[in-house]
């Protein structure tokens, strides 16, 4: 592949038409999805069956469009959006997706194709979780992303608010590989507040999607996206999930595909830990840090473990700072709670700033401190 002109892949016409059809029917799929009609099998239907099942009285019109499908126009749109298309027939198509009963016909990629190949050639770990995560959850996701990327793994997530974004940020911090699987066209930053993150992921990794450029996210797109995350990753780790979280769907799909599943535990009283704790109860691996994920994938004797050094940042810490850090870790997180009386405020402030300078705590929203992972 030449380094000059961007490699946009060479998707074949039937595959492009298939993915065009999915995008064309997105509103119909959404309606069927929300009405809970044949959810699971929907994307596995072949083209004509899909139109028959969904289009209703628009059937003939859509079939006419289907027959007039112009692959060149799609390729042109992809080129304009700097999006590459890897179809199912392409040898570079990610093979793990073939484990799915309904693999996407085309994977659209915003970012460098050879970088995507390199990222997928490594062991991939998905880190998913709640959008409205707690500072603790964000910190754990970021720490996992950083640690696993530093160990040479690829971090996959959905670039959603909260845990997903934190996992990407962690991987980028470690200059590691990270892939974002989006529920819209890969060139489109959704949610919009993650524009900057999207740009960084595209620059250092890749954003991928089964939907062609210009597609906007619908409700059905998110669980559909989750199946791609679950399939691409060797292990899926859930960080914070409520009782009925979408992340649990991802974990379930991963388990169905025979992939490993891990979960970061939380307080039994925390609603955001209900999902993860029940995953652990159901047999998911309890994940306290990157080392647990590496052990899960490669066994206790794995060489990669050396890449994630045991946490020695606490060593050599002055006794009072160590005590302060211990109390922060135990959930005593405001200055008011940490300082027992008026005389202690100055010392507490100074101690927290020390710990923050050493990267051991972070000041979160509401002035709450959280121990870093």
Partner 1 sequence: MFCDAARRSVPAVLARVVTFAIEGVDPRPIWVEVDIRPGLPTFRVVGLADAAVREARERVRAAILNSDFEFPARRIVANLAPAHLRKVGPGFDAALAVGLLAASGQCAAQALGRWAIFGELSLSGEVRGCRGVLAVAEGARRAGLGGLIVARERAGEAALVEGVEVAAVEDLRGIAALLDGGEVPPPPEPTPAPAGSIVAPEAPDLADVRGHELPLRALEIAAAGGHNLLLEGPPGSGKTMLARRLPALLPPLTREEALEVTRIHSVAGIGERGTLPTVRPFRAPHHTVSPAGLVGGGSPPAPGEATLAHHGVLFLDELSEFSRPSLEALRQPIEDGEIVIVRGQLALRFPTRFTLVAATNPCPCGYAGSDRPCRCGEHELARHRRRLSGPLLDRVDLLVTVARPSAAALAAAPRTASATVRERVLAARERQRTRLAGTTMHTNAQLDAGALRAQVRLGDSARRALAQAYDNGGLSARGHDRVLRVARTIADLAERETVELDDVLQALALRTRESADEALAA
- Binding residues for partner 1, rule: CB under 8 A, are 131-132, 135, 138, 142, 161-162, 165-166, 169, 191, 193, 271, 334-337, 339, 341-342, 344-346, 349-354, 356-357, 359, 363-368
Instruction: Enumerate residues 6+ apart whose C-beta is below 8 A from 179.
Output: 116, 119, 120, 124, 154, 155, 156, 157, 201, 205, 206, 207, 208, 232
Closer residue to partner 1 (CB): 183 or 235: 183
DSSP type of residue 349:
H
From the CB of 170, what's the least distance to partner 1, in Å?
9
CB of 142 to partner 1, least distance (A): 7
Which is nearer to partner 1, 270 or 307 (by Cβ)?
Answer: 270
64: left (phi over 0), alpha (psi -120 to 50) or beta: alpha
Nearer Cβ to partner 1, position 329 or 364?
Answer: 364
Q: Which is nearer to partner 1, 319 or 341 (CB)?
A: 341
What are 138's two structure tokens? 């964000």
Q: How far is the CB of 352 from partner 1 (least distance, A)?
A: 5
CB atoms within 10 A of CB 75: 17
Give the strand order in the sheet containing 206-209: 83-87, 106-111, 206-209, 177-181, 154-157, 124-129, 235-239, 260-264, 285-286
Instruction: Report the alpha-carbon distance of residue 256 to residue 264 in Å, rounded.
Output: 20
Least Å distance between CB 163 and partner 1? Answer: 10
Using the minimum distance from each CB to partner 1, give the nearer residue, 249 or 339: 339
User: Kind and range of the H or E element at 161?
Assistant: none
Q: How far is the CB of 337 from partner 1 (least distance, A)?
A: 8
């Amino acid at each position: 592949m030449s380094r000059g002109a961007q490699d946009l892949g060479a998707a074949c016409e039937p595959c492009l038409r298939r993915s065009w059809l999915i995008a064309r029917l997105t509103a119909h799929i959404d309606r069927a999805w929300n009405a809970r009609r044949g959810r699971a099998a929907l994307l596995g239907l072949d083209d004509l069956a899909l139109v028959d099942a969904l289009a209703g009285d628009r059937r003939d019109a859509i079939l006419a469009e289907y027959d007039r499908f112009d692959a060149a126009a799609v390729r042109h749109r992809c080129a304009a959006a700097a999006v590459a298309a890897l179809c199912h027939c392409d040898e570079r198509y990610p093979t793990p997706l073939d484990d799915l009963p309904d693999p996407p016909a085309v994977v659209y990629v915003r970012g460098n194709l050879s970088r995507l190949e390199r990222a997928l050639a490594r062991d991939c770990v998905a880190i998913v979780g709640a959008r409205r995560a707690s500072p603790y959850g964000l910190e754990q996701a970021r720490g996992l992303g950083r640690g696993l990327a530093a160990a040479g793994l690829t971090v996959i997530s959905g670039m959603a608010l909260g845990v997903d974004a934190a996992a990407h940020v962690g991987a980028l911090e470690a200059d590691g590989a990270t892939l974002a699987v989006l529920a819209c066209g890969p060139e489109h930053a959704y949610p919009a507040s993650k524009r900057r993150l999207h740009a960084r992921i595209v620059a250092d990794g890749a954003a991928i999607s089964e939907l062609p450029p210009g597609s906007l996210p619908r409700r059905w797109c998110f669980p559909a996206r989750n199946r791609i995350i679950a399939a691409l990753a060797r292990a899926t780790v859930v960080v914070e999930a409520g009782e009925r979280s979408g992340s649990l769907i991802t974990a379930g799909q991963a388990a169905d595909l025979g992939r490993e599943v891990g979960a970061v535990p939380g307080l039994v009283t925390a609603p955001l830990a209900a999902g993860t704790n029940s995953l652990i109860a159901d047999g998911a691996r309890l994940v306290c840090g990157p080392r647990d994920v590496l052990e899960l994938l490669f066994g206790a004797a794995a060489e990669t473990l050396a890449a994630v050094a045991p946490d020695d940042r606490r060593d050599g810490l002055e006794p009072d700072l160590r005590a302060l850090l211990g109390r922060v870790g135990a959930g005593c997180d405001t200055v008011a709670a940490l300082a027992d009386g008026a005389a202690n405020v100055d010392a507490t402030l100074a101690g927290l700033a020390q710990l923050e300078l050493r990267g051991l705590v972070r000041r979160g929203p509401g002035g709450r401190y959280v121990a870093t992972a």
